[in-house]
Structures are given as structure tokens and as C-alpha cells.
């Protein structure tokens, strides 16, 4: 396993239902009025990367595994759901 794969696995392991719920509660009030009640998966990915100290220019290698981890976490949060915006 390469160092990059280890970084991806460690970051994915940090995605828990509790962490995602917390991020959603923090980010949702920052949305434009028309988007209140929602937070884009991309915003969650960016926040997770920033918190872990990653440069957003390296986002591509983390996007798919983080999105999958976020979706799994959301499934475990009773009052949240994922809506595919296209």
C-alpha cells in the first residue's frame, strides 16, 4: 500500500456519522437562503480535507472514497438524507 493510499484510508476512517452531522450543523447556516436545509457533498469533502491539513488541489484523489464514506455515514443519521443533485 502506498503512502497516498494510507492517507486516503486514514481520512476515510475519520468520516463518522457524528462528524458529518456536526459538519452539516456548522455549514448549513452558511448557505444562501434558498439553499438552507442543505449542504453539498462537495462542501463536506472540502471541509474534511481542510481540517486534515490537505491542500484542496489534491482533492481529486480523495473525492470518490470520501463521498462514499459520507453517504454511508448519512445513512446512519436518522434525521438526514442524501439527495443526488445531479
- Range with the poorest average pLDDT among 6-10, 56-60, 80-84: 80-84
Rounded CA-CA distance 85/69 in Å is 18
Asked if the structure places residue 83 within a domain, the reply is no
pLDDT band at 61 (very low <50, low <70, confident <90, very high): confident
Asked if the structure places residue 24 within a domain, the reply is yes
Q: State which residues form the domain around 11.
A: 3-75
Tally of structural domains, the chain: 1
How close are the terminal C-alpha atoms of the chain, in Å?
Answer: 33
Asked if the structure places residue 80 within a domain, the reply is no
Asked if the structure places residue 81 within a domain, the reply is no
CB–CB of 15/66 below 8 Å? yes
pLDDT at 2: 59
pLDDT at 15: 95
The CA distances from residue 68 to 6, 13, 32, 35, 63, in Å, are 17, 11, 26, 23, 9
Asked if the structure places residue 67 within a domain, the reply is yes
Asked if the structure places residue 69 within a domain, the reply is yes
Asked if the structure places residue 36 within a domain, the reply is yes
Say if residue 5's pLDDT is above 80.
no
CB–CB of 74/18 below 8 Å? no
- Range with the poorest average pLDDT among 1-5, 37-41, 54-58, 80-84: 1-5
Amino acid at each position: 500500500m502506498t503512502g497516498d493510499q494510507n492517507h486516503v484510508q486514514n481520512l476515510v476512517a475519520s468520516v463518522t456519522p457524528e462528524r458529518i452531522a456536526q459538519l452539516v450543523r456548522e455549514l448549513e447556516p452558511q448557505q444562501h437562503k434558498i439553499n438552507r436545509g442543505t449542504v453539498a457533498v462537495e462542501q463536506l469533502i472540502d471541509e474534511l480535507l481542510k481540517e486534515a491539513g490537505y491542500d484542496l488541489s489534491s482533492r481529486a484523489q480523495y473525492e470518490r472514497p470520501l463521498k462514499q464514506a459520507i453517504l454511508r455515514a448519512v445513512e446512519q443519521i436518522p434525521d438526514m438524507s442524501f439527495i443526488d443533485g445531479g
